[in-house]
Amino acid sequence: MIQGAVSTDRPRDTRGGYLEGQTVPAASGAEPSGPEPDPGRPRRAEGIELLGEYQGSGFKEPPYLARRADGQVLQLPRLLYLVAENADGRRSYEQIAASVTEGFGRGVSEDNVRVLVETKLRPLGVLAARDGSSLKLERPNPLLALNFKTAVVPRRLVNAATTVFHPFFWPLVVIAAVLGFLALDWWLFFVHGIAQGLRHLISEPVFFLIVFGLVVLSAALHECGHATGCRYGGARPGVMGVGIYLVWPAFYTDVTDAYRLSKAGRLRTDLGGVYFNALFMLATLGVYLLTHFEVLIAVILLLQFEMVHQFLPFLRLDGYYVIADLTGVPDIFARMKPVLLSLLPWRKPDSAVTVLKGWVRIVVTAWVVFTVAFVLYAYGIMLLHLPTIAGTAWASFLGLAGRTSASLLRGQVATGLFSALQLVLLTLPVLGLGWMLVRLVQRLLVLSWVRTRGRPLHRGASFAVMAAAVLLLALAWTPPRANYRSISPHAQGTITESLSDAAPVFARMLGSIGPLPGASPAASASPAASPSASPAASPATSPTASESPSPMPSVAPSP
């Protein structure tokens, strides 16, 4: 899904179509009859749509949602929402105050409305400026969001496709599909097995082209599942497209309109992707039973791994959106810093944490702790072993380039095309990795500069810490400390192996700096500090940087 908001993460597009029972008027639709709008009276900005109360909320006081024309979803307190709802360009401040007082149940004066309009709603882009123009606000770039998004399938075509797939969400069909999928897994792993499918795939590399095409088709249907689940609940999905998530190409579907649905409707949207993956596997099994083409078994196996991968909760995949909708907190990533600071015993809990219900706060806190640990480990291992990753990628690139050229010269077009495809799939993650590192450095520099404005000592300390970190990495990457060769065939890439590889590196770094002040000669001459005492000092772990997927409740990365 696409996610974008001041207070939410999930980008979802919306165009009218309120749920039955809702009475909130769409700002982008026809204005109610009455006198012509007065430019001097507050009015909603162009394209603003009021989505109503966030249903199934995990907040003590449920927020209300509004969506700007740029797709940004905003969480508004009820008072602000009522002001925005009545700001149609026809009502005066006095009339708005009277209407809001009646709906809010507490007295709201004309001056109160003016203050809320000028200090809250106009800066957020909910209301137009005084001259009637709509503010063009910069969209924030949330943490771990999809980049380089490009729409491919227009909204009208997406909605047409959901009409075709609509019957797959009928309850009896869903029950039959789930039972069929369970039977498929039992047959695959306990009756037929996967060995022959893998043997055929490895013995005939040309079959990889078939597998690749089927996996890409399954990823496209995965997004159709999200869109159809959104439409089945009564919302309207937006465009489908492609982008880069972390370091991998990814499909995405804009299902922002699912925010107007109930918790069950949002969960249906979240799980629609893997549900359609299961349907695709059942169809693949049917083709296999007709043809006995063993490579199709390998396709089913790969899609099983993709389904498990989609439930990874630490990235913006299906698993993250399932947790967000189960807890009723649509912007968990935005609450990471307040949650971490609230864990410090000497700090008062932030309001972004105390507004959550008790059990929701426990779940969100646990998610934040595990996510921070996961992200720090992934980034740390990636940075520590960046020379090894670069060496492996370069060796693979040269080998694939030579294989592609040789295959084409011998007239083996299929093998040559497959090698060329591998070249593309190798280059994209490398470029994505470089972009991710650049963005990381940029974020750190901007954050340090902005947060320390007017405090030169704090600014100097923050930049000193970053300079020290860069120095340590430079020492770790300098030969012979760094290993610029390919990853060893015996490397496992486990956490214990990574820690054991990192210890000698840092030991040699400390040895090159010299003994610490006050250290005894025996301490500075320990075997760990001697290059000859650690033959396995070169890091050889496999790059385990997280890869995955899109601006949706999920992003489905292409292989």
For the segment 485-503, what is each residue's pLDDT rounded down to a tens digit?
555 555 545 556 555 655 5
What residues contact 220, with CB distance under 8 A and at least 6 apart?
251
Q: Do the beta carbons of residue 165 and residue 221 sit within 8 Å?
A: no
| Residue 376: pLDDT band with limits 50, 70, 90 | confident
Residue 351 maps to a domain: no
Residue 360: predicted pLDDT = 94
Region 508-516: mean pLDDT is: 46
Residue 264: predicted pLDDT = 94
Residue 19 has pLDDT above 50, yes or no: no
> pLDDT tens, 272-298?
999 999 999 999 999 999 999 988 999
Q: Is 276 helix (H, G, I), strand (E, B) or coil?
A: helix
State whether 87 and 172 are in the same domain.
no
Residue 156: predicted pLDDT = 93
- Residue carrying structure tokens 């292989």: 559
Nearest to 343, CA basis, from 361, 358, 331: 361
Between CA 87 and CA 90 the distance in angstroms is 8
State whether 194 and 80 are in the same domain.
no
Residue 69 maps to a domain: yes
Region 240-264: mean pLDDT is: 88
Residue type, 311: F
Region 242-249: mean pLDDT is: 79
State whether 33 and 62 are in the same domain.
yes
Residue 512 has pLDDT above 90, yes or no: no
Residue 291 maps to a domain: yes
State whether 135 and 204 are in the same domain.
no
- Cα distances (angstroms) measured from residue 394 to each of 388, 401, 430, 487: 10, 10, 10, 11
Q: Which is more confidently placed, 517 or 92? A: 92
**Greatest CA separation found in the chain?**
90
- Residue carrying structure tokens 């507490």: 106
Residue 335 maps to a domain: no
> pLDDT tens, 348-370?
888 889 999 999 999 999 999 99
Pick the last residue of a domain from 142, 159, 174. Answer: 142
Between CA 332 and CA 255 the distance in angstroms is 18
Q: Is 67 helix (H, G, I), strand (E, B) or coil?
A: strand
State whether 153 and 264 are in the same domain.
yes
State whether 279 and 414 are in the same domain.
no
Residue 127 has pLDDT above 80, yes or no: yes
- Residue carrying structure tokens 């349907």: 279
Nearest to 260, CA basis, from 60, 50, 6: 50
Strands 248-253 and 73-76 come out as unpaired
Structure tokens at 467: 């300079």
What residues contact 492, with CB distance under 8 A and at least 6 apart?
541, 542
| Residue 445: pLDDT band with limits 50, 70, 90 | confident
Residue 537 has pLDDT above 70, yes or no: no
Structure tokens at 291: 């043809």
Residue 182: predicted pLDDT = 96
Pick the last residue of a domain from 108, 142, 176. Answer: 142
State whether 226 and 163 are in the same domain.
yes
Q: Is 445 helix (H, G, I), strand (E, B) or coil?
A: helix
State whether 289 and 421 are in the same domain.
no
Between CA 246 and CA 437 the distance in angstroms is 10
Structure tokens at 411: 């007239």
How far out from the chain centre does Cα 240 lie? 16
Interior/surface letters 226-265, b for 16+ CB within 10 angstroms, e for the rest? bbbbbbbbbbbbbbbbbbbbbbbbbbbbbbbbbbbbebeb
Q: Which helix (H) or strand (E) holds 245?
A: strand 240-245
Nearest 5°: CA angle at 324, between 545 and 120?
110
Nearest to 219, CA basis, from 345, 123, 333, 306: 306
Residue 7 maps to a domain: yes
Region 524-535: mean pLDDT is: 35
How many structural domains compose the chain?
4
Q: Lay out the sheet containing 556-557: strands in order across.
A: 147-153, 240-245, 248-253, 556-557
What residues contact 373, with CB distance under 8 A and at least 6 apart?
none
Residue 390: predicted pLDDT = 74
Residue 505: domain span: 495-542
State whether 207 and 276 are in the same domain.
yes
Nearest to 300, CA basis, from 213, 219, 422, 197: 197
Residue 380 maps to a domain: no
Nearest to 64, CA basis, from 74, 53, 72: 53
Between CA 336 and CA 394 the distance in angstroms is 36
Between CA 442 and CA 434 the distance in angstroms is 12
* Cis peptide, bond prior to residue 140, ω within 30 of zero: no
Structure tokens at 140: 């924030």
List alpha helices for 37-151, DSSP H: 78-86, 93-104, 110-116, 122-124
Residue 468: predicted pLDDT = 80
Residue 321 maps to a domain: no
Residue 242 maps to a domain: yes
> pLDDT tens, 296-309?
999 999 999 999 99
Window from 118-127, 321-330, 418-427, 549-558 with minimum mean pLDDT: 549-558
Structure tokens at 160: 């047409």
Nearest to 423, CA basis, from 408, 436, 437: 408
Residue 7: predicted pLDDT = 37
**CA dihedral sign of residues 96, 99, 104, 105:** positive
Q: Which helix (H) or strand (E) holds 50?
A: strand 49-53
List alpha helices for 91-206, DSSP H: 93-104, 110-116, 122-124, 155-165, 171-186, 195-203
Residue 32 has pLDDT above 50, yes or no: no
Residue type, 548: S
Q: Is 283 helix (H, G, I), strand (E, B) or coil?
A: helix
Q: What size, in residues, is the chain?
A: 559
- Alpha-carbon torsion angle 298, 304, 309, 313, nearest 10: 180
Beta bridge partners of residue 557, listed in sequence order: 250
Between CA 76 and CA 87 the distance in angstroms is 15
**% residues pLDDT > 90 (the chain):** 35
State whether 74 and 92 are in the same domain.
yes
State whether 151 and 113 are in the same domain.
no
Q: Which is more confidently placed, 477 or 264? A: 264
Residue 478 has pLDDT above 80, yes or no: no
State whether 237 and 223 are in the same domain.
yes
Return mean pLDDT, the chain.
Answer: 77
Pick the last residue of a domain from 113, 142, 171. Answer: 142
